[in-house]
């Protein structure tokens, strides 16, 4: 991280100004523990500040922007069939299961659609309605990726290497590749296939797929509860 607090540099001063600084009496074989302790405290403070800046960056708040709400629907849903539109089955499964777990943790039943509709080609309206009714879900939550931004695509440095560089007072390389992902989510009622709610969610600067999915799952669940769609 360029611009972060650097330590270990040696300050210089013109010789004439040294006359203004009291010169302490030299003491042989006795280390100046006060100055050593002070220097260590400043080094620790620098490391704490750097670590705090890194945490602030790593934990940038995920964002949810509501784009639609059907004012005519004032009820709640009790079970949601979770659909992640993605060609990679493993990514889809990880997303659907993570969102379903987040819903259950919030007190609402959730089920991944992958168990009943295993291929992306099966994600059609009639098939989704049939799968939702089979799962006894009264709503379907459909999410698709809208945009992906990549920061430091060539970075390979790990967190361990990053902090080792700081311990040696070196200027470290970027930590790792970071992804900012925006997805669009629609909530449909199974009974009449009507869309009642829609949001755009953004997971900021995540360093792996789990971070992206976990951030979005928590943000979606929190927004559903905040809008009164789940209990």
pLDDT one-digit tens code per residue, 122-167: 788 899 999 999 999 999 999 999 998 887 666 554 545 444 544 4
Residue by residue, DSSP assigns 190-219 as: TTT--EEEEEEEEEEEESSHHHHHHHHHHH
> In the chain, where are the structural domains located?
27-59, 62-226
- Domain 62-226 maps to which CATH number in 3.40.50.2000, 3.40.50.10610, 1.10.645.10, 3.30.70.1140? 3.40.50.10610
Rounded to the nearest integer, the mean pLDDT of the chain is 75
The structure tokens listed for 112 are 């991944």
- Rounded to two decimals, the pTM is 0.66
The predicted structure's pLDDT at residue 178: 83
pLDDT one-digit tens code per residue, 52-85: 444 434 445 689 999 999 999 999 999 999 999 9
Distances (CA, A) of 230 to 67, 78, 108, 187: 18, 7, 7, 12
The predicted structure's pLDDT at residue 226: 95
């Amino acid at each position: 991280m360029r611009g972060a607090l650097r330590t270990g540099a040696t300050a210089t001063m013109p010789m004439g100004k040294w006359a203004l600084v009291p010169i302490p009496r030299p003491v042989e074989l006795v280390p100046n523990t006060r100055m050593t302790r002070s220097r260590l405290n400043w080094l620790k403070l620098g490391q704490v500040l750097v670590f705090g800046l890194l945490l602030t960056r790593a934990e940038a708040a995920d964002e949810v922007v509501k784009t639609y709400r059907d004012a005519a629907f004032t009820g709640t849903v009790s079970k949601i069939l979770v659909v992640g539109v993605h060609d990679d089955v493993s990514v889809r499964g990880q997303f659907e299961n993570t969102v379903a777990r987040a819903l259950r943790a919030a007190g609402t039943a959730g089920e991944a659609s992958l168990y009943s509709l295993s291929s992306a080609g099966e994600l059609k309206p009639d098939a989704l309605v049939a799968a939702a009714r089979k799962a006894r879900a009264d709503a379907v939550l459909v999410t698709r990726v809208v945009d992906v931004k990549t920061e430091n695509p060539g970075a390979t440095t790990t967190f361990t290497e990053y902090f080792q560089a700081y311990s040696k007072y070196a200027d470290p390389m970027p930590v790792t590749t970071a992804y900012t992902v925006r997805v669009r989510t629609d909530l449909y009622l199974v009974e009449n296939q009507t869309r009642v709610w829609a949001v755009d969610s953004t997971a900021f600067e995540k360093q792996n797929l789990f971070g992206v999915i976990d951030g979005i799952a928590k943000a979606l669940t929190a927004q559903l509860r905040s809008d009164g769609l789940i209990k």
